[in-house]
Amino acid sequence: MRFMAGYPVQTGENFIPFILKHKNRIQEVYFSWPGITSGRGSAGYGNPLMENEMQNTLLTGLSRLRSEGVASCLLLNGHCYGRESLARVFFEKIGNLIDFLKTETVLSSITTSSPVIAKFLKRNFPDLECRASVNMEIGSAEGMDYLAEWFDGYYMRRELNRDLEKIRELRSWCLRNGKKLYALANSGCLNFCSAHNFHDNLTAHENEIRAMDNAYDFPGICRQWLMRPEKRERFLSVCNFIRPEDIRLYEEYFDGIKLATRVSRNPLGILSAYLKGKYTGSLPDLLEPCHMECFLPEILENSLLPADFGERVLRCGHRCEACTYCRDALRHALVNADNWHQAQETGR
């Protein structure tokens, strides 16, 4: 399986060397452009000097990748572009940016959540692969067919990561219609989150919101929900992540697997785990968002989950109210963090 890695917002000096070392398996590096809204906020925070500095730093890294032939993917996946959504000036800005990036990087694809941006891209940059963002939540053949004129590939809805029958259906449609299918492996988002679209809209407008005298902070509902013990025991069944050990089960269905590393505290740890196909440590640490704090002083030790976990949840039908498999698996894999680390050190 080949992976797509997110260019970290706070990149360290080891990120680019790591990508180059593993370029045979890391298909591309995807990135947002400072100053343009993306699915994880507008890097640069509306400060022109900061945006310019971040753009230069990003270009330096992307140029190193270009010298080794590593492809890049531009994210235009903001959930909302406000009054600019259909504006001529906005599309002129995007067009000029793409022209520039094509001279400076190996820009091979663009991922967007806007059907109108996709239409613009296919008319003006037909040589670039245009992908539908996972933020569009496309989960049916009909959903892909509606936009088939403008998209070359689709990121499948997160919640379908553990639905083999649906994955096969979508893959079959893509093969018949000359399209590509992708998946996001390490999302920490809760399935069918009723606050997801609202949260994505806040992210898209964060600069405007930050300038206001706000009455509330909204960090999302997932962490607050998971802090309740009776809810936390359902963690494995209400999430959609694919563990490093289980990527092999998806080889024949996807053209690539996206790993969320742009805002992670340990992007190289995530990439290493999926490249190895094995991970010992706190499972939530691999996810974005990360919910490690919800389990402390315990950790959810990935290596203690059942060996058949991936195969089981891919085919189980998700009749969770009548099944205790995931709850039992979680209970067995929870260990005291300090004791576990001491035991690991002693074992070495």
Total of domains in the chain: 1
Nearest to 62 by CA among 111, 100, 24: 100
Could you tell me the residue range of the domain that residue 20 belongs to?
3-209+238-282
CA distance 32 to 346: 43
Residue listed under structure tokens 């310019």? 52
* 345 in any annotated domain: no
**Residue ranges in the chain modelled with pLDDT below 70:** 41-49, 340-348
Establish if 311 belongs to a structural domain. Answer: no
Tokens for 227? 């802090």
What pLDDT shows up at residue 283? 97
Q: Does any domain span residue 7?
A: yes
Q: Is residue 292 part of a domain?
A: no
Predicted confidence at residue 38, as pLDDT, reads 84
* 36-60 b/e (C-beta count within 10 Å ≥ 16 → b): bbbbbbbbbeeeeeebeebeeebee
> What integer pLDDT is reported at residue 54 of this predicted model?
87
Q: Token match 């496309």: residue?
A: 138
- 36 phi and psi angles, rounded to 5 deg: -120, 130
Task: Give the pLDDT confidence score for residue 337 in this predicted structure.
Answer: 81
**Residue 346 domain flag:** no
Residue 1, pLDDT score: 84
Tokens at residue 181, please?
């299918």
CATH code where residue 195 lies: 3.20.20.60
Structural domain includes residue 329: no
Instruction: Establish if 276 belongs to a structural domain.
Output: yes
pLDDT of residue 43: 53
Tell me the three-class secondary structure of the chain, residue by residue: CCEEEECCCCCCCCHHHHHHHCCCCEEEEEEECCCCCCCCCCCCCCCHHHHHHHHHHHHHHHHHHHHCCCEEEEEECCCCCHHHCCCHHHHHHHHHHHHHHHHHCCEEEEEECCHHHHHHHHHHCCCCEEEECHHHCCCCHHHHHHCCCCCCEEECCHHHCCCHHHHHHHHHHHHHHCCEEEEECCECCCCCCCCHHHHHHHHHCHHHHHCCCCCCCCCCCHHHHHCCHHHHCCHHHHCCCCCHHHHHHHCCCCCEEEECCCCCCCHHHHHHHHHHCCCCCEHHHHCECCCHHHCCCEEEEHHHCCCCHHHHHHHCCCCHHHCCHHHHHHHHHEEEHHHHHHHHHHHC
Domain assignment present for 332: no
pLDDT of residue 9: 82
Q: Rounded to whole angstroms, how far apart are CA atoms 39 and 43? A: 11
Q: How many angstroms separate the CA atoms of 51 and 45, rounded? A: 8
